[in-house]
């Protein structure tokens, strides 16, 4: 398809993005969207940028790219205890974009937006001579004063994490073009599971209300459990003792670690999990686990908060452990 045959900006928006818009999007025919938080609620805002070749492979399925662009933002809202209300999308399309690609991208984006009740309310569409670049800003609401911050953990609190850790980083290796030798030790089902965890992260929006009620601090695990825990501890001005043997792993991740035990560090520091890392008091953590279980999300205790600022002690079958790197970093 030539440039002359492709839709222009406004036709492109009407064809692929207007169907994803909620009432606040005003049919994407205005210069801005409109949100009306309920009385007694506050607005929570988060933004993430994704760049081809940095956050995803350029030849990843476009539907998966659309899904992930929204999922990483919904994960942040979930960690704050916020209900998703809408998002804006800025997309810079490379010169060789095709309608088929854009149709699938919008389908993946729309699938998660529909499931999460988080409609498109605006954005911008441009072209670029560089790589495909996406930016999503998502908006959510919480009852006034109930947003769960990083800076709320207290000595004696229990440290918990949702789901399983390490699948995203291992899935990146399984899905990528340069597969390491340990991938051959996994069966097809295990490889598919890990790759899907990388391609389609599952934001834990079902936990939002439970976190509001019971968590003292929370954030999502996007850059690696070890590095993100360090961020939470720094914000709260405290330390922690973590039992690595208690960190939940999926069966496919365990199979990968059996094939190459050195992968444990990648699992704990590699990122792309989009699980929830949180703390709760001794009094509240059992209720938090129960509330999460009612919503189909497992929460596992993995340690405790200690008073010493920035002191993190990791233990496990191998004794005290340190890490060559803490987390994924852009810089």
Is 331 annotated among the ligand-binding residues?
no
57 is in an annotated binding site: no
Whether residue 104 is annotated as binding a ligand: the answer is no
To the question of whether residue 193 is assigned a binding role by annotation, the answer is no
* Cα–Cα distance, 58 to 261 (Å, whole number): 30
178 marked as binding residue: no
- CA atoms of 279 and 150, how far apart (whole Å): 9
157 carries a ligand binding annotation: no
246 is in an annotated binding site: no
Work out the end-to-end distance of the chain between its first and last CA atoms, rounded to an integer number of angstroms: 38
Look at the block and give the residue holding tokens 């509330």: 291
Is residue 167 annotated as involved in ligand binding?
Answer: no
31 among annotated binding-site residues: yes
- Which residue, among 19, 24, 1, 278, has the nearest Cα to 139 in the 3D structure? 24
Three-class secondary structure assignment of the chain:
CCCCCCCCHHHHHHHHHHHHECHHHHHHCCCCCCCCCCCCEEEEEEEEEEEECCCECCCCCHHHHHHHHHHHHHHHHHHCCCEEEEEEEEEEEECCCCHHHHHHHHHHHHHHHHHHCCCEEEEEEEEECCCCEEEEEEEEEEECCCCCCHHHCCCCCEEEEECCCCHHHHHHHHHCCCCCHHHHHCCHHHHHHHHHHHHCCCCCHHHHHHHHHHCCEEEEECCCHHHHHHHHHHHHCCEEEEEHHHCCCCHHHHHHHHHCCCHHHHHHHCCCCCEEEEEECCCCHHHHHHHHHHCCCCEEEEEEEECCCCCEEEECCCCCECCCCCCCCCC
Contact 138, 84 (CB under 8 A): yes
223 annotated ligand binder: yes
Tell me: is residue 27 an annotated ligand-binding position: no
Measured in whole angstroms, the distance separating CA 331 from the mean position of its chain's CA atoms is 20
Binding residues for Mg(2+): 31, 46, 48, 76, 124, 220, 223
Binding residues for ATP: 123-124, 150, 222
Binding residues: 31, 46, 48, 55, 76, 123-124, 150, 220, 222-223, 272, 328
């Amino acid at each position: 398809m030539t440039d002359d045959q492709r839709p222009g900006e406004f036709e492109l928006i009407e064809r692929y993005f207007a169907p994803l818009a909620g009432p606040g999007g005003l049919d994407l025919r205005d210069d801005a969207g409109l949100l009306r938080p309920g009385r007694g609620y506050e607005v929570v805002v988060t933004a993430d940028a994704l760049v081809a070749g940095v956050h995803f492979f350029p030849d990843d399925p476009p539907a998966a790219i659309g899904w992930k662009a929204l999922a990483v933002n919904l994960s942040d809202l979930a960690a704050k205890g916020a209900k998703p209300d809408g998002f804006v999308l800025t997309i810079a399309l490379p010169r060789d974009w095709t309608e088929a690609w854009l149709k699938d991208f919008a389908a993946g984006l729309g699938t998660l937006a529909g499931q999460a009740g988080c409609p498109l309310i605006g954005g911008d569409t441009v072209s670029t001579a560089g790589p495909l670049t996406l930016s999503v800003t998502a908006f959510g609401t919480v009852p006034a004063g109930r947003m769960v911050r990083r800076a709320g953990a207290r000595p004696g609190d229990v440290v918990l994490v949702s789901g399983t850790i390490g699948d995203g980083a291992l899935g990146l290796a399984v899905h990528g073009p340069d597969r390491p030798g340990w991938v051959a030790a996994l069966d097809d089902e295990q490889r598919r599971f890990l790759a899907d965890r990388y391609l389609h992260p599952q934001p834990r929006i079902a936990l939002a209300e439970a976190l509001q009620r019971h968590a003292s601090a929370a954030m999502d695990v996007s850059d690696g459990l070890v590095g993100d825990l360090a961020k939470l501890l720094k914000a709260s001005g405290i330390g922690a003792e973590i039992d690595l043997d208690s960190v939940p792993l999926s069966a496919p991740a365990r199979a990968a670690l059996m094939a190459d035990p050195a992968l444990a560090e990648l699992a704990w520091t590699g990122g792309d999990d989009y699980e929830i890392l949180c703390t709760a008091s001794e009094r509240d953590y059992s209720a938090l686990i129960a509330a999460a279980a009612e919503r189909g999300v497992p929460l596992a205790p993995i340690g405790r908060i200690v008073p010493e600022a920035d002191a993190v002690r990791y233990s496990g079958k191998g004794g005290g452990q340190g890490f060559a790197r803490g987390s994924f970093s852009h810089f």
